Amino acid sequence: MIQYAWLIPALPLIAFVLIAFAFRPYKMLSAITAILSMLAATAISVGILAQTLTDPAITMDNPVEVAVTWLAVQGITLEMGVLIDPLSAVMLFVVTFVATLVMFYSVGYMHGDEGYSRFFAYLSLFTFSMLGLVIANNYFQMFVFWELVGLCSYLLIGFWFHKHSAVEANKKAFITNRVADFGFLVGILILFFAFGTFNFGEIAAAAPGFENVGLLTIIALLIFVGPVGKSGQFPLHVWLPDAMEGPTPVSSLVHSATMVAAGVYLLARAFPLFAATPDALLVIAYIGAFTAFFAASIALVQNDFKRILAFSTLSQLGFMVMAIGVGSITAAMFHLTTHAFFKALLFMGAGSVIHALHEKQDIWEMGGLYKKMPITTWTFIIGALALAGVFPLAGFWSKDAILVATSHGGFNMLYWVGTITAFMTTFYMFRLIFVAFFEPEKPENHPHESPVSMAAPLVILAALAVFAGFMGSPMLQNNFYQWIYFGEPTEVVLKVSNAIKSTGVALLGIALAWLIYSKKAISAEQLKQRFKPVYTLLYNKYYIDELYQWFFDKIVLPLGAAFNWNDRKVVDGLADGFADLTRAVGGKLRYLQTGNLQSYAMVIFIAVALIVLVMAVPVLGGVQ
């Protein structure tokens, strides 16, 4: 099946072209075209995954790689290729499978929307871009698709462009990621000058013996700037919560298997480069840990249903980045895989609720949903339990893999940061559940269960949220750890003490949320008033957005105005001055070339007369 890997991104690209240029007037035909293309891509991905699992010759150290020359000039050869190993095989399956469910879900969610066909065209282009990124065999090809992913996110976040908030959100996402991508681009260009190639395998082989470790650290950190933007790490995290302005299926896809996952995937793919620079890994670990804690603390007090999930995504991405930083791509990719399933489930559940309540998103305006929406309620609770890391759901195995990796690596502080973050995760998720689903029903609301097209993906993803984690559990001999790794397989043993501690932390978070928001043994309002400065700080997201706004208003805009003045007054002034001087001189000199024969005759006559006069003066003087 590997020989057909190129078809995986090609199929959604074909669907995009057909929908955009032929099927756009036919809504259902557009949806069917997009879904069928993703079903076919998923089937090929499953075949590649099965072949990679069963063929011992295909490993992280021995991938299957095919490439053709894309552009060749003197000194530079650019390739377009396909790289299949366990890492890309898993990612192909995750992206295609989740994208298929999102498209199926979108049939019901986007029903009646004027941009129905356009939406499926954009989704197809989005998945094409992400899949092209996944199979890339070199940094340059990955960067091309990396930018296409950014473009598609801009189109989808601002899909409802008639809303001012959506327009502002897609611009914010696009500009923030351009800042990050500039660092990424500079990094890969320096990388090329240092190694003479963009190829992942060639650089992985050469990086450990590279003598200039300082330069290698700079390259690694510049490349890391790209994932800081794409995967929403501090301080370039600000775009991701605002990305909620797009339709909920977009949020589900962006937050689970595509855009934000691209950054973590790049870190895993480029890990041999990072492994050769311990200082860079340390920076990555601490930024990931800080982002996980930072985002979870903000989510504690948010009231917007989707925004709570958005900050949850930021926090979980921080866990994955931290795992890369402590040296475990296995734990990072394991959590990325399980997280894709339960986070897609949570966002689809959010969409189901919002759809039923006619676009209400404030959790305090909800309540009583468990009575009218049982499928949505219980699948959402399963997703929340998986996210919280409750045994034996998927998130338990993958989150604990990260905590074990930090503990084994000697990063005790990061271990406790991760444990505290896990507690906050459980608390804010069950705060959302107790308020939105189990508070008394609001009389003005008339919720109803979602149609089959929306409910079926919830059930499928809920099953995966329960069982997907077992592939990396001791019950199945930690197979995931023996399959995706860097260097020799690393045996990560899940200790019973860690499991008890992790589950205890999760149950403590659920119990505290129940006491405050369900049992009401502690008044949430009194807590808010008692800790008002902290609450205000968290509710306003540490004022990072305001800080950026101040920076743009006070620094960027005045600086831009100064450059604009310099351009208009100095640069243009000099250019215009030279032009005016040339014009003036030319205006005077033009009288020397009039094209009039009488004028030329007069000039000749005067010239001759002057010559005669000049010659005659000495003669006349001699006569006297």
Q: Among 501, 309, 288, 470, which residue's Cα sits nearest to residue 387?
A: 309
Q: How far apart are CA 281 and CA 273, in angstroms?
A: 10
Q: How far apart are CA 308 and CA 251, in angstroms?
A: 12
Structure tokens at 617: 């003066």
pLDDT in tens, 163-220: 898 999 999 999 999 999 999 999 999 999 999 999 999 999 999 988 899 999 999 9
Q: How far apart are CA 475 and CA 379, in angstroms?
A: 25
CB 468 within 8 A of CB 341: yes
pLDDT in tens, 569-609: 888 888 888 888 888 888 887 777 777 777 778 888 888 88
Structure tokens at 151: 């473009």
Looking at residue 533, its pLDDT comes to: 92
Confidence of residue 619 (pLDDT cuts 50, 70, 90): low
**Mean pLDDT of all residues in the chain?**
90
Q: Give every CB contact of residue 491 below 8 A, 6+ residues apart in sequence.
A: 478, 481
pTM exceeding 0.85:
yes
Asked whether the predicted pLDDT for residue 617 surpasses 80, the reply is no
Q: How far apart are CA 453 and CA 88, in angstroms?
A: 29
Q: How far apart are CA 253 and CA 62, in angstroms?
A: 31
| Residue 583 maps to a domain | yes
H-helix or E-strand spanning residue 66: strand 64-73
| Residue 462 maps to a domain | yes
546 and 434 housed in the same domain:
no
Q: How far apart are CA 481 and CA 487, in angstroms?
A: 12
399 and 544 housed in the same domain:
no
Which DSSP string do the residues of 214-239 spell out, in sequence order? HHHHHHHHHHHHHHHHHTT-TTS-TH
Bigger pLDDT: 488 or 162? 162
Query: Which among 517, 535, 553 is the end of a domain?
Result: 535
Query: Which among 518, 535, 552 is the end of a domain?
Result: 535
CB 138 within 8 A of CB 200: yes
Asked whether the predicted pLDDT for residue 342 surpasses 70, the reply is yes
464 and 609 housed in the same domain:
no
Q: How far apart are CA 315 and CA 474, in angstroms?
A: 26
Q: How far apart are CA 116 and CA 127, in angstroms?
A: 17
* Number of helical (H) and strand (E) elements in the chain, helices listed first: 28, 2
CB 290 within 8 A of CB 413: no
Structure tokens at 535: 């609450």
Q: How far apart are CA 364 and CA 432, in angstroms?
A: 9
Query: Which among 499, 514, 535 is the end of a domain?
Result: 535
CB 327 within 8 A of CB 278: no
Q: How far apart are CA 587 and CA 417, in angstroms?
A: 77
| Residue 414 maps to a domain | yes
* Type of residue at 392: P
Q: Among 316, 304, 301, 299, which residue's Cα sits nearest to residue 255?
A: 316
435 and 461 housed in the same domain:
yes
Confidence of residue 491 (pLDDT cuts 50, 70, 90): low
Q: Give the side-chain half-sphere CA count within 13 A for 34.
A: 33
491 and 411 housed in the same domain:
yes
Mean pLDDT along residues 325-353: 92
H-helix or E-strand spanning residue 395: helix 394-408
328 and 429 housed in the same domain:
yes
| Residue 52 maps to a domain | no
Residue 275's SS3 state is helix
Task: Please tell me the total count of domains within the chain.
Answer: 3
CB 301 within 8 A of CB 539: yes
Which DSSP string do the residues of 515-573 spell out, in sequence order? HHHTS-SS-HHHHHHHTHHHHHHHHTGGGHHHHHHHHIIIIIHHHHHHHHHIIIIIIHH
530 and 619 housed in the same domain:
no
Q: How far apart are CA 516 and CA 536, in angstroms?
A: 19
| Residue 490 maps to a domain | yes
Q: Give the side-chain half-sphere CA count within 13 A for 563.
A: 5
Burial category of 373 from C-beta neighbours within 10 Å (exposed 0-12, middle 13-18, buried 19 and up) = buried
pLDDT in tens, 413-448: 999 999 999 999 999 999 999 999 998 888 888 888
388 and 443 housed in the same domain:
yes
Lowest mean pLDDT among 311-320, 417-426, 441-450, 481-490: 481-490
Match 């072949």 to its residue by tokens: 51
pLDDT in tens, 61-85: 889 999 998 888 887 888 899 999 9
Q: How many residues in total does the chain contain?
A: 624
Asked whether the predicted pLDDT for residue 402 surpasses 80, the reply is yes
Looking at residue 360, its pLDDT comes to: 87
Mean pLDDT along residues 220-248: 92
395: β partners? none
| Residue 239 maps to a domain | no
Q: What percent of the chain has pLDDT over 70?
A: 97
606 and 545 housed in the same domain:
no
448 and 572 housed in the same domain:
no
603 and 481 housed in the same domain:
no
> Which structural domain range is residue 547 located in?
540-589
Q: How far apart are CA 514 and CA 522, in angstroms?
A: 10
C-alpha distance from residue 622 to each of 280, 375, 616 (Å):
98, 127, 10
Looking at residue 620, its pLDDT comes to: 65
442 and 545 housed in the same domain:
no
Mean pLDDT along residues 372-389: 94
Lowest mean pLDDT among 90-94, 405-409, 528-532: 405-409
CB 485 within 8 A of CB 329: yes
Lowest mean pLDDT among 87-101, 112-126, 540-554, 601-615: 601-615
Looking at residue 337, its pLDDT comes to: 93
Q: How far apart are CA 298 and CA 318, in angstroms?
A: 14
| Residue 155 maps to a domain | no
72: β partners? 77
Asked whether the predicted pLDDT for residue 16 surpasses 70, the reply is yes
Asked whether the predicted pLDDT for residue 493 surpasses 70, the reply is no
| Residue 33 maps to a domain | no
Q: Report the sign of the C-alpha dihedral through residues 619, 622, 623, 624, in that order.
A: positive
